[in-house]
Chain A
């Protein structure tokens, strides 16, 4: 059960990375820090300013979306065609953000208020924290919403076309400038959504984003770069493996499973489970 909850969250965190890599061929190494940023925002609005909880969640995600668009415009756009600089820039950005958080919020964990208190008995077997259940439900809801948008709307159609074949999409008159900006913003907003959903469960610290991003990257490689279904399956697989594997290793080594999976994928099926990549 815990594996499934964690898996859904992993999928959610990875979805934004996969969307951006599929469309723009850019890996955002600051993904984890944007997750953290949304966590801080929701803490700030709900806890320090005393806003309505739902309002502060929405505003937090929206601000991260705007920040994403800003990053794309200022930093990423000039690097198109030069993959190396986008890697370097987003890595530096992640370190800058970590240090800025440290300066502003201090090294201690911050935790926005929980949505629901108490625990529920699941299938008459065990008790499970209500907040975690809520995270599962909302996470699944957001993932479904993303799939619907990609499947049904005009934006989704362009996204699919562009991630299939960028040059073709450009030839057919897709304005990739706006597409990139929008999808980068959306990718960041998804990181933010994962952040606000999880912050009440796992409090945010300035450097907690590194682990989030690494997990998201493992999920993306496992699922296949740019494949959204791959994210969901990859997230669930990783969540379950970590949960089952925890029984065999000390808790300090929990995160090593992700790396082992990464190595195995690269050895056996480098394009990932749902990889579409032609070599």
Chain B
């Protein structure tokens, strides 16, 4: 536990040095990756730890981005306050959707969230006067003088905050309840776990975190379009978590960086990255349900076992 904290601190400290060595474009890619780290990790909190699949995670990021954007453009709110209100809005909608579906079980959540994403897209494109539709809504920056480096530190701070919340949650009593519900909900409820409450809680928290990610991202891009809450975006987030490793803390972080950087390379040859990631994610979900991290931990376990076996032979 102590060790891990030290490692994490070193990684964050090294990350702080990144702007020194990267040009504007590379910094942009890293900032994008940080957005995806927040998205994939919070989606993993839901799918990897409670076993529920939401297809509206990108939609909740959209709610965060549009709420904050519209408030700051139309009502003159400070963008920082806008982001906080955007988080609250995402959490509130998430709570309502959760209460509505989760009495009936996980399949209903998946169906409803898919429908919800589509409806949100329809509303955003149709309410042109408020959202500027597919043209996109121009929003103010988070600081008086635009600076990529400053944005990098803000996104890094948001990502670290988000990861700390997730980490604390996973290793708390609530996290134990999450995993119990994921493993066997009938057994969990026979031991006093309020399954519906736990699921709604996980869904609400992950929606709030998505709202936060979307809010910051929108004010970074300065232009909010229906791309943010799209199903393609949802798919990217899902692939990052699945390929990196569901149910592992590090997996989605790795997945987010790897896929975002790869996507930038592949984009050079055309829009093939979605197809490529899709096929890889398909193979991963089928053959290694715990993603790359699952392969790593299996390998470690096997190596330990063979080391023990070798030790016994020698002893």
Contacts and interface: CB of A to CB of B under 8 A. Distances in A.
A88 B272 CA distance: 21
A85 B106 CA distance: 12
A27 B286 contact: no
Interface stretch (A3-11, A44-52, A239-247, A258-266): A258-266
B235 A256 contact: no
B58 interface: no
B115 A95 contact: no
A163 interface: no
Contact of A93 (B52, B272, B282): B282
B242 interface: yes
B111 to A, nearest CB: 5
Contacts of A58: none
Given A252-B125, A266-B104, A84 B53 contact: yes
Contacts of B278: 92-93, 95-96, 99
Contacts of A29: 110, 114
Contacts of A96: 275, 278-279, 282
Most chain-A CB neighbours within 10 Å: which of B47, B104, B126, B279?
B104
Interface residues of A, number: 43
How many B residues are at the interface, by size bracket? 35 or more
Contacts of B126: 250, 252-253
A263 B99 CA distance: 11
A256 B115 CA distance: 9
B52 A84 contact: yes
Nearest to B126: A252
The winner among B51, B103, B118 for most chain A CB atoms within 10 A is B118
Interface string A217-233: 11001000100000000
Nearest to A26: B107
B112 interface: yes
Interface in A142-172: none
Nearest to A258: B115
B285 interface: yes
Question: Mostly helix, strand, loop or mixed at chain B's interface?
Answer: helix
B293 to A, nearest CB: 16
Contacts of A83: 51, 106-107
Interface string A261-279: 0110011001100000001
B274 A92 contact: no
Contacts of B52: 84
B231 interface: yes
Contact of A85 (B116, B235, B285): B285
Contacts of B274: 95, 99
25 contacts: A27-B107, A29-B110, A29-B114, A75-B282, A75-B286, A82-B289, A84-B53, A87-B110, A88-B53, A88-B238, A91-B238, A92-B278, A92-B282, A93-B278, A95-B274, A99-B274, A99-B275, A100-B275, A211-B118, A250-B126, A253-B126, A263-B100, A266-B101, A266-B108, A267-B100
Interface of B: 47, 51-53, 55, 100-101, 103-104, 106-108, 110-112, 114-116, 118-119, 122-123, 125-126, 231-232, 235, 238-239, 242, 271-272, 274-275, 278-279, 281-282, 285-286, 289
